Chain A
Amino acid sequence: MSEALLTGRGVETFYGKIQALRGIDFDVRKGEIATLIGSNGAGKSTLMMTIFGTPRARSGTITFEGKDITKLPSHQIARLGIAQSPEGRRIFPRMTVLENLQMGATVNDMAFFEEDVAKIYKLFPILEKRHTQRAGTLSGGEQQMLAIGRALMARPKLLLLDEPSLGLAPIIVRSIFSAIKELNEKEGLTVFLVEQNAFHALKLAHRAYVMVNGKITMTGTGKELLARPEVRAAYLEGGH
């Protein structure tokens, strides 16, 4: 539980002249669900993409299983065993649901495809019903499930989830979060979760980071942060 799978030290990312990440330190430990919460524009998604080298960190280092991946091309990072369900879902709209899942299995050359796709369909039964449908015609919630399913097809050691709850009905959010929990508990999948929906995220996560303006301002267990008045004031009150 304590061995760090992914670590970042002093990570700084720029968009042109604008600095988006201002020296981020973080760890994601093997087998845990870590979460990163923060308001819109804090830099959460930037961190997710920086882990994949797109955009590339201008300074600092990111290591995965002890290997420096800061300067690695994105597709090689994926091949090390990190998968992402990114901001905006980014499913391939003109491909079928099945083809999207096949794309997810790129890194293991479709070796476990039948077995894995059955698992995804069990996790998200609606995808099986829609498997020949073009992904662009799915509803938002279905697209989100597809994005997560596609990431899981890679059999990742680490799953990066960027705002899986965005724009979804509460009942779907609940089913997605319970799916994440199940994967973590039953399969020991390590998850790094970015959320604006702080309440759900903090309840789910073992450890959490709070990001404000490109900096980590607080860290602790999910329960600790849930109890903190400043977290409640900033991210929870008025919410759920």
Chain B
Amino acid sequence: MEYFLQQLINGLTLGSIYGLIAIGYTMVYGIIGMINFAHGDVFMIGSVVSFILVLSLGLTGGSGPFLIILSLALVVVIAMLIASVYNWTIERVAYKPLRGSFRLAPLISAIGMSIVLQEFVRIAQEGRPKPIQAIVTGKYELLERVNDQGQFIVTISNMQILIIVCTVALMAAFTTIINRTSLGRAQRACEQDQKMASLLGIDVDRTISITFIMGACLAAFAGLMFFMYYNVTDFFVGFLAGIKAFTAAVLGGIGSIPGAMLGGMVIGLVEVFWSAYFSVEYKDVAAFTILAMVLIFMPQGLLGKPEVEKV
């Protein structure tokens, strides 16, 4: 039971990160009907930029808590800004000119952009993994059990608390924007009928750009959290994390934002539980088996319902 609880905490942490990335996939799919395969690499950019910033600020685990919080806030803002510029540019350069072209064209372009970003970072920052000392340290012991097999303590680290709390806050803020503001309404309108949205005075191109920027912000945040959780990053982290987040988006129902959040959590939990009870080597296989199963048996995903519309 204690072991299970510990894995639950670990799974929710990882799931939060996947969920944040998955939202970027699902929103872009919702609004222009394409999978932005470069999104995982925007997450990587966010993570590498965070790494550079943390180093340049000279942040270590020994810095005072106040300084750490202040610096991290600064890091996250700058990382979001830079990731946004990347994602905005990608959309303008690689996707917008292909709108109205055949369906595969932007997809191929996206894979190309993904390679461009990876190679750019590999060359500019070198390919070696970039480790760092843990910055947010400390943990709480929640439960302790001693039996004949030994002692087991359920813990939650400050970093895990930070990730889960910030993710919940970000997702709440994000859901409010989508459901309650005129910007979110415009995004949903573009998702349902772009032409009609433009007849009502919505600048569709601008709305699409904003969608890419919002996705990039969430991905950059996830990038920072990912890098601080594992204390390492490199040019390739976006690949696997990106594909898993994509799996999460499909599992939740591509196009559905609550679905992406839920899917992220499920994928994170599956991966962690699989590693804990079966084998760590096959954790990626477990995640992608889900993708295959969902695509075969439940293509609309958990929360993506095909809408019945009156004609």
Query: Interface residues, chain A, CB within 8 Å of chain B?
Result: 52, 54, 73-75, 78-79, 83-84, 86, 90, 92-95, 99, 102-104, 106-107, 109-110, 136-140, 143, 150, 154
User: Which residues of chain A are within 8 angstroms of B309 by Cβ–Cβ distance?
Assistant: 93, 136
* Pick from A79, A99, A143: contact of B185, CB under 8 Å: A99
* Pick from B195, B200, B307, B308: contact of A103, CB under 8 Å: B200
User: Which residues of chain A are within 8 angstroms of B310 by Cβ–Cβ distance?
Assistant: 136-140, 143
CB atoms of A106 and B186 under 8 A apart: yes
Complex formed: what's the CA distance from A79 to B197 in Å? 12
B146 within 8 A of A: no
Residue with the highest number of chain B CB atoms closer than 10 Å, among A52, A75, A99, A136: A75
Q: A95-B189, A143-B310 are in contact. Are A106 and B200 (CB under 8 A)?
A: yes
User: 1/0 per position for B164-201, CB-CB distance to A under 8 A?
Assistant: 00000000000000000010011011001101111111
Complex formed: what's the CA distance from A106 to B193 in Å? 15
CB atoms of A78 and B201 under 8 A apart: yes
CB atoms of B192 and A92 under 8 A apart: yes
B126 within 8 A of A: no
Top 3 A-B pairs, shortest CB-CB distance: A78-B201, A107-B201, A74-B198
CB atoms of B199 and A78 under 8 A apart: yes
Closest to A92 in B: B192
CB atoms of B185 and A75 under 8 A apart: no
Chain A nearest CB, measured from B200 CB (Å): 5
Q: A75-B204, A103-B200 are in contact. Are A95 and B185 (CB under 8 A)?
A: yes
Sample of 10 A–B contacts (CB below 8 Å): A78-B198, A78-B200, A93-B307, A95-B185, A95-B188, A103-B185, A103-B197, A103-B202, A104-B200, A109-B182
* Pick from B182, B188, B198, B308: contact of A92, CB under 8 Å: B188
Closest to B198 in A: A74
Complex formed: what's the CA distance from A90 to B193 in Å? 8
B203 within 8 A of A: yes
User: Which residues of chain A are within 8 angstroms of B199 by Cβ–Cβ distance?
Assistant: 52, 54, 74-75, 78, 83-84, 86
User: Which residues of chain B are within 8 angstroms of A93 by Cβ–Cβ distance?
Assistant: 192, 307, 309
User: Which residues of chain B are within 8 angstroms of A95 by Cβ–Cβ distance?
Assistant: 185, 188-189, 192
User: 1/0 per position for B281-311, CB-CB distance to A under 8 A?
Assistant: 0000000000000000000000000011110
* Pick from A94, A99, A143: contact of B307, CB under 8 Å: A94
- Categorize the interface residue count of chain B: 20 to 34
Q: A54-B195, A136-B309, A138-B310 are in contact. Are A92 and B201 (CB under 8 A)?
A: no
User: Which residues of chain B are within 8 angstroms of A137 by Cβ–Cβ distance?
Assistant: 310
User: Which residues of chain A are within 8 angstroms of B193 by Cβ–Cβ distance?
Assistant: 90, 92
Residue with the highest number of chain B CB atoms closer than 10 Å, among A90, A106, A110: A106
CB atoms of A92 and B189 under 8 A apart: yes
* Pick from B196, B201, B203, B307: contact of A154, CB under 8 Å: B201
Complex formed: what's the CA distance from A86 to B188 in Å? 19
* Residues of B88-139 whose CB lies within 8 A of A: none
CB atoms of A107 and B185 under 8 A apart: no
User: Which residues of chain A are within 8 angstroms of B192 by Cβ–Cβ distance?
Assistant: 92-95
Closest to B190 in A: A92
Closest to A139 in B: B310
User: Which residues of chain A are within 8 angstroms of B201 by Cβ–Cβ distance?
Assistant: 75, 78-79, 106-107, 154
* Pick from A86, A103, A138: contact of B189, CB under 8 Å: A103
User: 1/0 per position for B237-280, CB-CB distance to A under 8 A?
Assistant: 00000000000000000000000000000000000000000000
Complex formed: what's the CA distance from A160 to B203 in Å? 20
Q: A94-B192, A136-B307 are in contact. Are A102 and B200 (CB under 8 A)?
A: no
Extra contacts, 16 of them, besides A54-B199, A79-B201, A99-B188 (Cβ < 8 A), are A52-B199, A74-B198, A83-B199, A90-B195, A92-B189, A94-B192, A95-B188, A95-B192, A102-B185, A103-B185, A103-B200, A104-B200, A106-B182, A106-B186, A136-B308, A137-B310
Complex formed: what's the CA distance from A207 to B308 in Å? 40
Closest to A88 in B: B311
CB atoms of A75 and B189 under 8 A apart: no
Chain A nearest CB, measured from B140 CB (Å): 42
Closest to B308 in A: A136
User: Which residues of chain B are within 8 angstroms of A103 by Cβ–Cβ distance?
Assistant: 185-186, 189, 197, 200, 202
User: Which residues of chain A are within 8 angstroms of B197 by Cβ–Cβ distance?
Assistant: 103
Complex formed: what's the CA distance from A106 to B203 in Å? 10
Closest to B205 in A: A73
Residue with the highest number of chain B CB atoms closer than 10 Å, among A79, A83, A93, A150: A93
CB atoms of A102 and B182 under 8 A apart: yes
CB atoms of B200 and A73 under 8 A apart: no
Complex formed: what's the CA distance from A140 to B199 in Å? 21
Closest to A140 in B: B310
Complex formed: what's the CA distance from A55 to B204 in Å? 16
Chain A nearest CB, measured from B175 CB (Å): 15
Complex formed: what's the CA distance from A78 to B202 in Å? 9
Q: A106-B182, A139-B310 are in contact. Are A73 and B198 (CB under 8 A)?
A: yes
